[in-house]
């Protein structure tokens, strides 16, 4: 075992472990992105439950989550995803109707997956009702197929052992108040967990609008985001739980309305009947309220609500604050993700450069064993092809007296005859000798042949001594980013070749 694969005696962690951890992290991140996409797809599917293409996309996203989490070793998440995939496949394959019950069950599945991801991230125990959910999936599918359902309900306890419940000791009015409060808390919890993994502003807007419309006392609602630019505008993204097609979106000029400037710039809540323009902008609302999505200097946008109950105002204010927080976090997350990608790219470049330097060092050590220019050329061609992402290589040594190039080493190419570089003017070899710089396939419009073989993605580099060009190196690349490494190697090779030629000359 090489040193790089040996376990660290302090941690017991190997390089293979680190690679696997990185791969698991990548697969888990991919699963979270598909969960985000699945949320938006379901929102769209609820508006168009007969859209077979959307159903196929939902199936594929679920399948990908199952595969990614399975590879990452997240067995619970993978198992729930598999049950969801089987359920969607049965609905899709048997032509069963995508009823509201089906859609609600799929949304419930997303909640379960979100909770499981959260528990896994925090490495905490949980009491997430996985069994209850999967049993519900099975029962719903059986009812849709007309199959008798299995009795999965618990049998009631003996009457004598049954304790008094809240409903037996609490007045009806109080119980109603408790029920309403629990419903609101449940809706808020669902909203928070549903939005936890969303990083797309529009997906968040649609999901929030849907939750307000279906789960809370909001008769009408719309979600508006500020469009950046000189002429600042507010764009209606979602209305009553549905994403608005781009071509149908309402656009309001902020600077043309004192009301909108108060919302966006001053970040003030606009109450019903407080401004005559309010009802003109929202004619379908009985009592429109505008809640700014407050940022430090001005709002991201605003929520327009038509609440059925005035008592719900506090909750809607909380939701507007929550929405601002989610938008801020999602935008920060996108910036962090972009920076992480840049850092990953830089790290990959550094790792590649480190690998190139290591290979350069190894090759230079091998070349030092050469005792003649011919042996040196042969070693150089062989190591270029074996140690670097290079398909073929040829080393030419220049004969100044006869104005010829002698091929003294080649790998991956047919035999190459000596070449008269004085007469063959229009060749990459002559251009490199004449200019002293690297010539590549982008500089040459014609096909470049060596030994009757056409080269692709090639470079020609001079092998320079202290005062003159001694030869040429021709390589056919598999990776164009290796050019810098080849340039470094050619400089070293030119000096080594000159020393060998001087030694051969003095010996003769």
Total residue count of the chain as it appears in this document: 508
> What is this structure's pTM?
0.39
Helix axes 15-47, 201-215, angle to 10 degrees: 50
User: In sequence order, what E strands does 364-403 have?
Assistant: 390-399
- Would you put residue 273 in left (φ > 0), alpha (ψ -120 to 50) or beta? left
Backbone angles phi, psi at 301, to 5 degrees: 170, -155
The CATH label, of 2.40.10.10, 3.40.50.2000, 3.40.1440.60, 3.30.450.40, for the domain at 368-507 is 3.30.450.40
Q: What is the pLDDT of residues 49-100, one digit of tens each?
A: 888 888 888 888 888 788 777 767 778 888 888 888 888 888 887 777 778 8
Tell me the fold of 3-146: 1.20.120
pLDDT tens digits for range 14-47: 544 555 566 566 666 777 777 877 887 888 888 7
- Rounded to 5 degrees, φ, ψ at 399 are -105, 105
- Measure Cα distances from 25 to 28, 402, 434 in Å: 5, 62, 52
The answer to whether residues 133 and 216 touch, using CB atoms and an 8 Å cutoff, is no
Question: Is the model more confident about 59 or about 324?
Answer: 59
- Two structure tokens written together for 438: 């690297």
Q: How confident is the model at residue 338 (pLDDT cuts 50, 70, 90)?
A: confident
Q: Which residues of 89-127 are buried (b: 16+ CB within 10 A; e: fewer)?
A: eebeeeeeebeeebeebbbbbbebbbbbbebbeeeeeee
Q: Do domains 3-146 and 368-507 have the same CATH topology?
A: no
Rounded to an integer, what distance in angstroms lies between the CA atom of residue 404 and that of residue 398? 6
Asked if 199 and 334 count as a contact pair (C-beta separation under 8 A), the reply is yes
Please state, in angstroms and rounded to a whole number, the distance separating the CA atoms of residues 469 and 430: 12
Bridge partners for 337 per DSSP: none
> Lowest-pLDDT range, 14-18, 373-377, 385-389, 404-408?
14-18
- Please tell me the predicted confidence (pLDDT) of residue 248: 92
Structure tokens at 356: 């190139």
Of the candidates 303, 317, 309, the one whose C-alpha atom is nearest the C-alpha of residue 286 is 309
Q: 189-333: which CATH topology?
A: Beta-Lactamase (3.30.450)
* Interatomic CA distance for residues 300 and 186, integer angstroms: 27
pLDDT of residue 5: 42
Q: What is the C-alpha separation between 471 and 491, in angstroms, rounded?
A: 11
pLDDT in tens, 136-182: 888 888 888 776 555 444 434 343 333 333 334 334 444 444 455 45
Sequence ranges of the domains in the chain: 3-146, 189-333, 368-507
């Amino acid at each position: 075992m090489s040193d790089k694969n040996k376990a660290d005696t302090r941690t017991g962690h190997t390089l293979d472990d680190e690679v696997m951890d990185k791969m698991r992290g990548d697969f888990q991140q991919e699963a979270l992105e598909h969960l985000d996409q699945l949320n938006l797809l379901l929102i769209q599917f609820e508006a168009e439950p007969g859209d077979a293409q959307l159903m196929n996309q939902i199936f594929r996203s679920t399948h990908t989550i199952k595969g990614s989490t399975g590879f990452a070793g997240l067995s619970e998440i993978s198992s729930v995803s598999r049950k969801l995939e089987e359920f969607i496949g049965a609905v899709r394959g048997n032509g069963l109707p995508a009823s509201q019950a089906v859609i609600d069950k799929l949304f419930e599945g997303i909640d379960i997956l979100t909770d499981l991801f959260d528990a896994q991230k925090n490495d905490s125990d949980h009491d997430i009702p996985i069994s209850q959910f999967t049993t519900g999936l099975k029962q719903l599918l059986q009812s849709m197929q007309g199959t008798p359902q299995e009795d999965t309900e618990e049998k009631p306890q003996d009457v004598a052992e049954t304790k008094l419940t809240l409903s037996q000791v609490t007045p009806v009015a109080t119980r109603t108040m408790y029920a309403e409060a629990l419903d609101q808390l449940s809706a808020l919890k669902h909203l928070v967990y549903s939005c936890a993994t969303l990083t797309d502003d529009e997906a968040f807007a649609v999901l929030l609008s849907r939750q307000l419309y279906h789960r809370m006392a909001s008769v009408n609602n719309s979600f508006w985001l500020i469009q950046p630019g000189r002429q600042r505008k507010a764009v209606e993204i979602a209305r009553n739980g549905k994403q608005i097609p781009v071509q149908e979106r309402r656009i309001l000029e902020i600077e043309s309305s004192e009301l909108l400037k108060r919302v966006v710039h001053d970040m003030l809540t606009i109450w019903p009947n407080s401004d005559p323009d309010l009802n003109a902008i929202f004619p379908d609302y009985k009592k429109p309220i505008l809640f700014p999505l407050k940022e430090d200097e001005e709002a991201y946008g605003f929520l327009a609500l038509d609440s059925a109950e005035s008592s719900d105002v506090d909750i809607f204010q909380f939701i507007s604050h929550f929405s601002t927080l989610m938008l801020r976090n999602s935008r920060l997350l996108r910036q962090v993700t972009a920076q992480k990608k840049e850092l990953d790219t830089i790290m990959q470049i550094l790792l590649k450069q480190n690998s190139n330097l290591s290979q350069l060092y190894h090759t230079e050590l091998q070349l030092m064993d050469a005792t003649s220019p011919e042996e040196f050329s042969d070693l150089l061609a062989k190591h270029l092809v074996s140690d670097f992402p290079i398909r073929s290589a040829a080393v030419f040594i220049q004969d100044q007296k006869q104005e010829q190039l002698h091929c003294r080493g080649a790998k991956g190419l047919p035999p190459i005859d000596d070449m008269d570089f004085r007469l063959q003017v229009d060749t990459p070899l002559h251009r490199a000798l004449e200019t002293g710089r690297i010539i590549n396939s982008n500089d040459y419009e014609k096909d470049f042949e060596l030994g009757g073989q056409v080269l692709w993605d090639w470079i020609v580099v001079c092998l320079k001594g202290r005062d003159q060009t001694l030869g040429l190196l021709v390589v056919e690349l598999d990776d164009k980013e290796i050019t810098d490494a080849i340039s470094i190697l050619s400089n070293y090779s030119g000096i080594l070749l000159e020393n060998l030629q001087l030694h051969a000359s003095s010996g003769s």
